[in-house]
C-alpha cells in the first residue's frame, strides 16, 4: 500500500513525502479535508486520509519534540 505524508500545499498541488522523496500530487486528487501533516494512503487509485496513521505520526513528532526540549 502506497502512503504519503502531506508536507505543504502550493496552489493546486499538495507536496508530499513518499518513501523519503518529495513529490507533487494535484490537490483535486486528495480529499478536501486533508491537511498538512496528514498521512494519505492510496486505495483503489484514490488517496484517502489515514486517521489512525496520522494520529500515530503526530504523537511520535510530539514525543521527539519533547525529547529535544528536555
Domain ranges of the chain: 3-69
Look at residue 63 and give its three-state secondary structure. Answer: helix
Query: Rounded to two decimals, what is the model's pTM?
Result: 0.87
3-69: which CATH topology?
OB fold (Dihydrolipoamide Acetyltransferase, E2P) (2.40.50)
Q: Is the pLDDT of residue 1 over 70?
A: no
Cα 10 to Cα 64: distance, rounded to the nearest angstrom: 27
Q: Express each pLDDT in 25-36 by its tens digit.
A: 999 999 999 999
* Nearest in space to 49 (alpha carbons), one of 59, 64, 62, 36: 36
Amino acid at each position: 500500500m502506497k502512503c504519503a505524508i502531506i508536507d505543504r500545499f502550493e496552489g493546486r498541488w499538495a507536496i508530499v513525502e513518499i518513501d523519503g522523496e518529495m513529490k507533487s500530487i494535484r490537490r483535486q486528487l486528495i480529499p478536501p479535508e486533508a491537511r498538512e501533516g496528514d498521512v494519505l494512503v492510496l486505495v483503489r487509485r484514490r488517496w484517502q486520509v489515514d486517521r489512525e496513521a496520522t494520529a500515530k505520526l503526530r504523537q511520535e513528532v510530539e514525543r521527539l519534540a519533547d525529547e529535544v526540549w528536555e
